[in-house]
Amino acid sequence: MVLKLQIDGVTVEAEKGESLIDVAWRHGFEIPSLCHHEAVAPYGSCRLCLVEITRKGRKKITTSCNYEVLPDIEVRTSTPEVERHRRMILELLLAEAPASEPLRKLAKRLGVEATRLKPHEGNECIRCGLCVRICNEIVGVNAIGFHGRGDRKETAPPYKEPSELCIGCGACVYACPTNCIRLVEKDGMREIVRWGRKLPIATDENGRPLAPRFQLRYFQELVDLPKDFYKKAPGDRGID
Amino acid sequence: MKRLPNPRELEAYRAEVSAARPPDRPAIAICNTGCRAYGSLKLFEVFRKAIDTAGLKAKVEVRPTGCHGFCECGPLVVIFPRKIFYQRVKAEDVEEVIEKTVKRGEVIERLCYTDPVTEKRYTYEDDVPFYKHQMRLLLGQNNRLDPTSIDDYIALGGYGALAKALARKPEAVLEEVKKANLRGRGGGGFPAGDKWETCRNAPGDVKYVICNADEGDPGAFMDRAVLEGNPHSVIEGMIIGSYAIGSHEGFVYVRNEYPLAVEQVDIALRQAEALGLLGKDILGSGHDFTVKINRGGGAFVCGESTALMASIEGRVGEPRAKHIHTVVQGLWDRPSNLNNVETWANVPLILGRGAEWFRSIGTEGSKGTKIFSLVGKVINTGLVEAPMGMTLRRIIFDIGGGIRDGRKFKAVQTGGPSGGCLPADRLDIPVDFDELWKHGSMMGSGGMIVMDDRTCMVDVARYFLGFLKFESCGKCTSCREGLRHLHRLVQEICDGQGSEDTIRLIEELSDTVEAASLCALGTTAVNPVRSTLKYFRSEYEAHVRDKKCPAKVCKALITFSIDPEKCTGCMVCAKRCPQECITGEKKKPHVIDQSKCIKCGVCNDVCKFESVTVQ
């Protein structure tokens, strides 16, 4: 079902059930976010995507990632109040993960150069859980999760030990908005540094490195590929 | 037990159990829940054995009951039918109580309550000022029944409201609750009838009814007392609700730290099931309803409805956005109606006595009564039930008896850890949902912490921020990080490290924590710091400008010293000082070594000559 709403005075169309931030992004509106990714369910952790929504004459400020679009709402992606809270949230994030380069860049772009709050030196993670959601919803192996709550909350494998479930695919590395999960390949091994998972890399028949054996086997089983699929060079695999 | 197939059989059963419990029957009611902390389980056993020995078993009932409310004076014993009120009863008193009061009707003055201020003595429960000013619609049954006996409850009219409700159409029951304007007692104050109606009208065949018993506020025990003392009243309310909503499955989510509540609810559920008041075709109405118990794992945030539902589902207790309400999409994405313990316990009253009667109690916007746990520096601590609209002053001074140790009232925090602190000039505001909100605090679930002039309001804000920081689920940056920094900034002020900028930053940050957080834990968490800044700003300023703590609480800003004029050299302080940093000869003034002093205040507490000064 198609419905119409207004974003910054422009009428746009959206599907029922869509997340507001996805609709806004699709139509070219800029709303900052760190924890949202269109491939996984919205979570609402970083709080940067705050917008002002007017519905039936009532205004409220809320995050746009976990807001399902409704007909006839009026959205303002930037008001002085929204900006003020966003800047404060950026200060909070900068204090939380001062070592994150992408975060510092984003903050700078949004006009926040420094934080007045005491920084957590050396930390890069903002505990948004995008890695956890990607691992769960997209990869489907659930190798990592949350531990603890409140300011002790952290993302880690079960029992904070290298997880045997982790296939070393690196989806979390790719998704992490602050670049705090690193992937290192050395001496025929791939390591996901943050989770302490180290796996040998399989090679094809020409000895070229592919990916961890674990990961290949997982894919093979998942989509039922022939056993020697990854042995062959990409051109000989029988798919185009 | 036999199943009661219809309302007529329920009434016949009621006649039967009532006959065995004539109202003039002597009974000794002993609080066996809250007063357990004072050893009342043993007291009950001693009473039971003594009554056996005296050959009075057939004549006098020894009744283990739920909380009577006046916790300050426990263990509490009430002798029926006259309701003679005995407090601080010990096992050694039992013989005398039986000999004199039970057998001969004499009153033992020693065990009666004497008002510490007026020194007036009271014989009967209803006359004791603590009880006299209350309206105990929900708690009043607590000492009249044994919570493990459904027969006791039925004899007092229990499940009569259910029979009445089942005789009407679900829509009519819903209308009655709407008309009564019953508002949620868990803190939100949302009209329960509207909630039920939305849930009833939400699409879907499977709907759930949930009782939120995850009471987690420090110092609060309202829901605990109702569940432990009168579990059937909650269950009856839930069954009526399920009928009105069209739900057949219910959950009681109760925190595991309330083992007795879990036990009593479990017993009550089995008894109700055995009598056919739960299960299939309740009282022949065709309505089916069962209730399961879910035990919470100790997270404060699981009192938030969406986190609670996530927890029942077996997921991490984290709130989610409620743009689609839980009454439409809640537990397992099905329409789910959640109300708090006290809200459910009000339902049988409304259906039993009518919405008109219920509406006659309270204020324009808030009807009925509210239970408060009155704690802190008040003389009579305990559970208080008052009609909505009673002023803070009456609750704290008439019922609570005023401030302990002749000190001065300074503030009262209402609404639990995320409530606000109200000063003396707000004592005359009527307590209801809207008034408290208007003054920067809230009803919450009914916590009421009274503070005297020795309380530092900055320290209070620091304490509650620390609690909420610890209990935040950690999902939102604004709540997780915001509260962490707020707590640290207030701590800085307590440590004498704060400046005017610190106060400004606290204010700015509070705004964002409130506006940007997802659930009510985050959006209300700033109330303690906000309200203390609003009403006690000068205290913050004294901390940052003069580096002084006016209430002399913040250790970094005070020093203990001994006045040589007053010190008699008794040496008591020197002996008790844990740091051994007080020196001096016998009968000569003593001196505190400031470099070793940890400011614990023991010297001040033990000095009989008021020679220790705190600056």
Average pLDDT along chain B, 615 residues, taken 10 residues at a time:
91 96 94 94 97 94 96 95 96 96 95 93 96 96 96 97 97 97 93 97 97 92 96 98 98 96 98 97 97 94 96 94 92 97 98 97 96 96 96 97 95 91 96 92 92 96 96 96 98 96 98 96 94 96 96 94 93 93 92 93 92 91
Structure token digits, residue A172: 């979390």
SS (H, E, C) B150-189: HHHHHHCCCCHHHHHHHCCCHHHHHHHHHHHCCECCCCCC
All residues at 6 or more sequence positions from A163 whose CB lies less than 8 Å from its CB, including other chains:
A143, A144, A157, A195, A197
Is B204 within 8 Å of B330 (Cβ atoms)?
A: no
* Helices B170-180 & B341-353 angle (0-180, nearest 10): 110
Contact call for B515 and A61, based on CB within 8 A: yes
User: Which element (helix H / strand E) includes B234?
Assistant: helix B231-245
Distance CA(A14)–CA(A20), nearest Å, equals 9
The pLDDT score that the predictor gives to residue B451 is: 97
Separation of alpha carbons A34 and B159, rounded Å? 54
What tokens does B69 get?
Answer: 């409310």
CB contact under 8 A, B480 and A151: yes
d(CA A90, CA A86): 6
Is the CB of residue B480 less than 8 Å from the CB of residue B309? no
Give me the residue from A44, A85, A88 closest to B518, CB to CB: A44
Segment B491-498 long-range contacts (CB within 8 Å, at least 24 positions apart): B491/B462, B493/B458, B493/B540, B493/B543, B493/B544, B494/B456, B494/B458, B494/B459, B494/B462, B494/B543, B494/B549, B494/B554, B494/B556, B494/B557, B495/B554, B495/B556, B496/B543, B496/B547, B496/B554, B496/B556, B496/B557, B498/B540, B498/B543, B498/B544
What single DSSP character describes residue B279? B
Q: Determine how many CB atoms are found less than 10 A away from the CB of residue B235.
A: 31
Q: Which residue has the tokens 């009744």?
A: B63
Alpha-helical regions (H) of B452-565: 457-471, 477-494, 500-516, 520-524, 527-535, 537-541
Q: Given A61, A67, A92, which is nearest B477 (Cβ)?
A: A92
Mutation to test the A interface, candidates B324, B467, B480, B501, most A Cβ within 10 Å: B480
Q: Nearest residue on chain A to B471, judged by CA atoms?
A: A150
Residue numbers in B near A146 (CB within 8 A): 316, 474
Q: Closest CB to B485: pick one of A85, A117, A129.
A: A117
> How confident is the prediction for chain A on average, in pLDDT?
94
Cα of B470 to nearest chain A Cα, Å: 6
Rounded Cα distance, B239 and B351, in Å? 12
Tell me how far apart the alpha carbons of residues B114 and B223 are, in angstroms, rounded to a whole number. 29
Sign of the torsion angle spanned by Cα atoms B159, B161, B166, B170: negative
Torsion of CA B75, B81, B84, B85, to 10 degrees: 30
Structure tokens at A212: 């961890």
Q: For chain B, how long is the longest CA-to-CA vector?
A: 86
Q: Specify the 3-state DSSP secondary structure of B121.
A: strand
pTM of the predicted model as reported, rounded to 2 decimal places: 0.93
Q: Cα separation of B519 and A84, whole Å? A: 20
Residue B561 near residue B612 (C-beta atoms within 8 A): yes
Instruction: Enter the DSSP assignment of A127.
Output: -
Q: Is B584 left (phi over 0), alpha (psi -120 to 50) or beta?
A: left
Cα A234 vs. chain centroid, distance in angstroms? 29
Chain A residues in contact with B484 by the CB 8 A cut-off are 150-151
Inter-chain residue contact B484 with A151, CB threshold 8 Å:
yes
CA B365 – CA B433 distance, rounded (Å)? 8
Report the Cα B530 to chain-centroid distance in Å: 24
The DSSP H or E segment spanning A171 is helix A171-175
Q: What is the pLDDT of residues A184-225, one digit of tens each?
A: 999 999 999 999 999 999 988 888 888 998 899 998 888 888
Chain B residues touching A88 at Cβ < 8 A = 508-509, 511-512, 516
| C-beta atoms of B324 and A88 within 8 A | no
- φ, ψ at A87 (rounded to 5°): -65, -40
Evaluate if residue A145 carries a pLDDT over 70: yes
Which residues in chain A are closer than 8 Å to B480, comparing Cβ atoms? 127, 150-151, 153
* Cβ <8 Å between B321 and A61: no
Q: Which amino acid is at A215?
A: Q
| Secondary structure element (H or E) that encloses residue B562, with its range | strand B560-562
pLDDT of residue A239: 63
Return the pLDDT at B322.
87
A50·B323 Cβ contact <8 A: no
Q: What is the DSSP letter of B238?
A: H
Tokens 């400020």 label which residue? A61
pLDDT at site A13: 96
Q: Where are the alpha helices (DSSP H) in B517-571?
A: 520-524, 527-535, 537-541
- Cβ neighbours of B323 in A, within 8 Å: 62, 66-68
How many whole angstroms from its chain centre is CA B87?
Answer: 21
Nearest to A150 among B474, B488, B511 (CB): B474
Which two three-digit tokens encode residue A68? 């399902």
**CA of B298 to nearest chain A CA: how many angstroms apart?**
12
Distance to chain A for B488, nearest Cα, Å: 9
**Distance from C-alpha of A173 to C-alpha of A193, rounded to nearest angstrom:** 10
pLDDT of residue A234: 74
Residue A240 has pLDDT above 60, yes or no: no
Q: Exposure pattern of B89-105 as b/e (b: 16+ CB <10 Å)?
A: bebebbeebbeebbeee
Report yes or no: A94 and A115 within 8 Å, Cβ to Cβ: yes
- In Å, how far is A46's CA from the nearest CA of chain B? 5
- A45 token code pair: 């952790």
Distance from C-alpha of A212 to C-alpha of A225, rounded to nearest angstrom? 16
The closest CB to that of A67, out of B321, B481, B485, belongs to B321
Q: What is the pLDDT of residue A100?
A: 97
What is the C-alpha to C-alpha distance for residues B105 and B122, in angstroms, rounded to an integer? 16
In degrees and rounded to multiples of 5, residue B149 shows phi and psi of -120, 110
